Chains A and B, each alone.
Chain A
Amino acid sequence: MTGAQILLESLKRAGTEVIFGYPGGQVLPIFDQLYDFDIKFILTRHEQGAAHAADGFSRATGKVGVCLATSGPGATNLVTGIANAYMDSIPMVAITGQVGTHLIGNDAFQEADVTGITRPITKHNFLVKDVKDLSRTIAEAFYIASSGRPGPVLVDIPVDVQRAETEFIWPGKIKIRSYQPTYSGHPGQIKKAAKLISAAKKPIIYAGGGIISSGAHILLRELAEKIQAPVTTTFMGLGAFAGTHKLSLGMLGMHGTAYANHAIMESDLIIAIGARFDDRVTGRLDTFAPYAKVIHIDIDPSSISKNVKVDVPIVGDAKNILGPLIKQIKKAPDTQSWLKTVEAWKKKHPLAYKHTGKLIKPQYILEQLWDLTKGDAVICTEVGQSQMWACQWYKYLTPRTFISSGGLGTMGFGFPAAIGAKIGRPDKEVFNIAGDGSIQMNIQELATCVANKINVKVLIFNNGFLGMVRQWQELFYKKRYSYTPITSPDYVKLAASYGAIGIRVTKKSEVRKALEKTIKTDNTVFVDFRIEPEENVWPMVPAGQAINKMIDGLA
C-alpha cells in the first residue's frame, strides 16, 4: 500500500468516523485516496474551522476528533484549534502534510516546521520520515490522544512518505515504555480521603472536566448524595452534575454563582475531582478557601499542588477512584447545618437580572431556550459575555451537552465546534450561543453547514459590542470603549445568501416564537437577537481578588 492508503486504513482501524479538513498541495496523495474511501469527510471553509469541528465532535461524543490539513499555512491555520484542544484536554489527532523529506529545512514552498510550532500545544507530535513507521505512529497517536489526561496529537507526514509503498501492518495493543498513565488510585490515599470526608463539617465537591472525560458523572452523583455535600462545577465540568439537582451550586469562579463562591471559601474540606484550580476559579490564591483541607483526585500528577497545596492527592482516573472511595466512607458526615447555610446563600444571592424597557435581555433568551429544551440539546458557545450567560442561565443535565472553549478562550470556536457536535450527535438539537464579535471570526463555516446539510442553530446575542472587553472597559477603564463597538453584516441576508435561514428578533415578546421557529426549521438558522447593548455579566470577581469579593451591578 502507499503511505496515503496506509494512513486512511489506519485512521479507520483506529475508529475514525469523520475527518474535518481542507486539501492542498502536500496532501494530494491523501485526498486522492479519500475520493472513494469509506470515511466521511467534511470540507470546512478554513483549516481553523476543521480543527474546532474535530474538537467539537470529540467533546460531543467522547471519541477522538480528526482533522487534516496541508503543509505550511494549512498546518499553521490549525494551530489555534490545536492549542484550544490542548488547554481543555480534548483528544484529537491532527494530520498535516509536509514538504518532501529531501526539501525539509530548505524553506520550500508552503513549508513550516509544524512539529516545532506545535510542540508546546500538543500532548505529543510526530514527524513520520519512513512509510514503515506510519501505521504504528497513527496507532500511537490515537492511544496517546485518548489515554491518561487526553489531548491533541499531531502527525506530520511528508508528501513523499504518502507516496512511498510498504506492506500494511496494523499493530496490536500499543504499549509505550516511556508513557504509562496511572489509572487506579492508591488505596492508602483513598482511605485517608475517606477519613477526612467523614470528619468534615462543611465539605464541598469541586468537580471539573475530568469527570466528563473519565465518564464518572454517575459516581459523582452517588458520592454527593452519600455524603450530602454541595457540588460546584468548573466551567469545563458543566454537565458533570445536573444543574437541577438540589445539591448543585452551579459554576464557581470569576462569573460563577455567589453561593458557589461563598460555599467554597467557607468550606472545611474541598474534594476536587478532575479540576485544576485555575486562576479563574481561585481568584487571589493566597485568600482562597482559607479553612479548607484539600483532597485532589486527578489523572495528571502535574495538576496536583500546582496552584493550591493539597493535603491528600490521589493520582488516577476519577471513574476508578470514586467507586472505592464511596465504599471506604463508613460514616457520612453530618452536613445538615452546612446545607442550611448554603441554602441561605442561594436565597440571598440568586443569579438575577432586571428587565428594563423593551430591549431583549440575553438571560431571558437563555431562560426561554431552557424552557423549550429542558436540557435536551447540545449547547455550544463562542467566547465572552454570551458564553458566560450560557454558563449561568442554562442548566446542563448530562455530560457533553455544554461545549465551549475554556482554557484558551478562543473566539470563533463555537460555530465550527457546533458543526462537529452535530455530526457526532445528529439526534440532538445543537445550538451555538454567539456574540456578534465571535460569530464573525469563523462565519465562513455557514457554507460548510449548508453544503453538508448540518443544521446548526446559531443564536447571536447582538449588542454591537465586543461585550466582555467593553464590560471591563466600563468597570476598570472609565468607559473608554476603545475599539469595542463593532458592526455586523445583515445576518438575515447573510444567512440567505448562503442558503440558510436568517431571523431578526428585536422585541422580548418575539423571543419565544423565534426560538420555536428555529427549532422547527430543518436548516441552519442564524437568529439575530438585538439585545440590550450594555448589559453586564453579574456577578463578577475582579481579576486578582478573593472570589467572595464579588461585585454585582444589580445591588
Chain B
Amino acid sequence: MRHTISVLVENKFGVLARIAGLFSARGYNIASLAVSETMDPSISYMTMVVEVKDEDVLEQIKKQLNKLIDVITVTDFTKREHVDRELILAKISYASKDKDRLEGIFNKFVGKIIHHEEGTAIIEAVGDAQQIKLLLEELNKFGIKELVRTGKLAISN
C-alpha cells in the first residue's frame, strides 16, 4: 500500500542522503519525493510517498526517520485529513485541429497549454492522484512524448 509521509528537516547538506540511505539500507522504495525550503530557510519540507507491504514496516520507517538527528517532525497522512496535489508537465503530440478536443479536457481538469509548436504541445496540469491518472489517460490518446512529475505534495487540513 502507498503512504504519504511528510518530514520537516534541518536544511543542511547531507540530510537528503541520510533519508535516502535509511530507505535504501532496508530495501524500502520511495515512490516519489518532493523537497523544498519552507518559509524558514533553515528548515526544509519533504513529502514522500512510500510503498510498504504492511503497517509494521510503515511504523518502523517513521521511527527510523524520527531517529535521524536532523529530522524535526514526521507526519503520516495515512489517517489524517489532508489535501494533496501533484504538478505534471507533459509533452504531447498536437496539431491545431486538436485544439477543441484538448480544451474539452481542460474543462474537466486543471491544466493548460504552456507552449506549443508544430506537432508538439507542452501541458501543465495539477491534480490529486486520481485526477492525474485520469488526465494522463486522456492525454495518452494524443500520444505522450515526454512526462515529468513533481511527485505528491501534501498538507494537513
Question: Within 8 Å of chain A (Cβ to Cβ): is B69?
Answer: yes
Given A116, A123, A178, A301, which contacts B63 in the complex, CB threshold below 8 Å? Answer: A301
Q: Is the beta-carbon distance between A302 and B69 smaller than 8 angstroms?
A: no
Among B13, B17, B25, B60, the residue within 8 A (CB) of A306 is B60
Task: Say whether, besides A300-B67, A302-B67, A120 and B25 are in contact (CB < 8 Å).
Answer: yes
Residue in B9, B10, B25, B66 whose CB lies within 8 Å of A301: B66
Cα-based distance from A120 to B21 in the complex (angstroms): 7
Chain B residue with Cβ nearest A129: B13
Kindly list chain B residues whose C-beta atoms are within 8 Å of the C-beta of A177.
72
Tell me the chain A residues, 130-148 only, with Cβ under 8 Å from chain B: 144
| Cα–Cα distance between A410 and B131 once the two chains are bound (Å) | 54
Q: How far is the CA of A470 from the CA of B121 in the complex (A)?
A: 69
Identify which of B14, B17, B25, B72 contacts A178 (C-beta below 8 A).
Answer: B72
Chain A residues with CB under 8 A of B60: 302, 306
CA distance A300 to B60 in the complex (A): 12
Q: Does residue B140 face the partner (Cβ distance < 8 Å to A)?
A: no
A contacts with B: majority SS: mixed
Would you call B64 an interface residue if the criterion is a C-beta within 8 Å of the partner chain's C-beta atoms?
Answer: yes
Whether B14 pairs with A305 at a CB distance below 8 angstroms is: no
Chain B residues near A116 (CB, 8 Å)? 17
**Shortest Cβ distance from B22 into A: residue:** A120
Q: Taking the complex as formed, is B118 at the interface, i.e. its CB lies under 8 A from any CB of chain A?
A: no
- Within A86-119, the residues touching B (CB, 8 Å) are 115-116, 119
Chain B contacts with A in 1-55, Cβ cutoff 8 A: 9-10, 13-14, 17-18, 21, 25
User: Which residues in A have their C-beta under 8 angstroms from that of B14?
Assistant: 115, 119, 127
Q: Which residues of B contact A555 (CB under 8 A)?
A: none
Residue A179 interfacial (CB < 8 Å): yes
When distances are taken between beta carbons in the complex, the residues of chain A under 8 Å from B63 are: 301-302
Residues of B close to A301: CB separation below 8 A: 63, 66-67
- Pair count A-B, CB < 8 A: 35
Q: Does A192 contact B (CB under 8 A)?
A: no
Contact among A120, A178, A300 for B70, CB-based, below 8 A: A178
- Does any Cβ of B come within 8 Å of A554's Cβ? no
A286 to chain B, nearest CB (A): 14
Q: Which of B9, B10, B21, B66 has a CB less than 8 Å from the CB of A119?
A: B21
Known contacts A178-B9, A301-B63, A305-B59: A123-B17 contact under CB 8 Å: no
Alpha-carbon separation in the docked complex, A337 to B59 (Å) = 39
Which residues on the B side are within 8 Å of A124 (C-beta)? 69-70
Candidate in A123, A176, A178, A179 with the most chain B CB atoms within 10 angstroms:
A178
Contacts of A115 in B (CB 8 A): 14
B64 contact set on A, CB distance < 8 A: 302
B19 CB to nearest chain A CB (Å): 11
Chain B residues with CB below 8 A from A127, complex form: 13-14
Contacts of B69 in A (CB 8 A): 123-124, 144, 176, 178-179
Chain B neighbourhood of A179, CB < 8 A:
69
Q: Is the pair A305, B56 in contact by a Cβ cutoff of 8 Å? A: yes
Q: Which residues between 104 and 127 of chain B lie within 8 Å of chain A, taking CB atoms?
A: none
Residues 167-196 (chain A) with a chain B CB within 8 angstroms: 176-179
Are B72 and A119 closer than 8 Å at their CB atoms?
no
- Nearest opposing residue in chain B for A304, CB measure: B63
B132 CB-CB contact with A under 8 Å: no
B71 at the interface (CB under 8 A from A): yes
Chain A, range 412-448, C-beta contacts under 8 Å to B: none
Q: What A residues does B72 contact at CB under 8 A?
A: 177-178
A178 and chain B: residue at smallest CB distance: B72
Closest to B13 in A: A127
**Smallest CB gap from A181: residue in B:** B67
CB-based contact A178/B67 at 8 Å: no
Enumerate chain A residues within 8 angstroms of B67, measured Cβ to Cβ.
Answer: 300-302
Q: Whole-angstrom distance between the alpha carbons of A306 and B64 in the complex?
A: 11
The distance from the CB of B83 to the nearest CB of chain A, in whole angstroms, is 26
Cβ–Cβ < 8 Å partners of B13 in chain A = 127
Closest to A115 in B: B14
What separation, in Å, do the CA atoms of A498 and B157 have in the docked complex?
A: 71
Q: Which residues of B contact A306 (CB under 8 A)?
A: 60
Residues in B whose Cβ lies below 8 Å from that of A176: 69
A92 to B18, CA, bound (A): 20
CA distance A119 to B69 in the complex (A): 12
The proximity string for B residues 62-88 relative to A, scoring 1 for CB distances below 8 Å and 0 otherwise, is 011011011110000000000000000
- B9: chain A residues at CB < 8 Å are 178
Specify which chain B residues have a CB less than 8 angstroms from the CB of A123 in the assembled complex.
69
Q: Which residue of A lies closest to B10 (CB)?
A: A178
* Cβ A119 vs Cβ B59 within 8 A: no
A interface residue numbers (CB < 8 A to B) = 115-116, 119-120, 123-124, 127, 144, 176-179, 300-302, 305-306
Given contacts A178-B72, A302-B66, A306-B60, 10 further A-B contacts (CB under 8 A): A115-B14, A116-B17, A127-B14, A177-B72, A178-B71, A300-B67, A301-B63, A301-B66, A302-B60, A305-B56
The 10 closest A-B pairs by CB, nearest first: A302-B63, A124-B69, A178-B72, A179-B69, A301-B63, A302-B67, A120-B25, A119-B21, A302-B64, A178-B70
5 residue pairs A–B, Cβ–Cβ below 8 Å? A116-B17, A178-B69, A178-B71, A301-B67, A302-B64
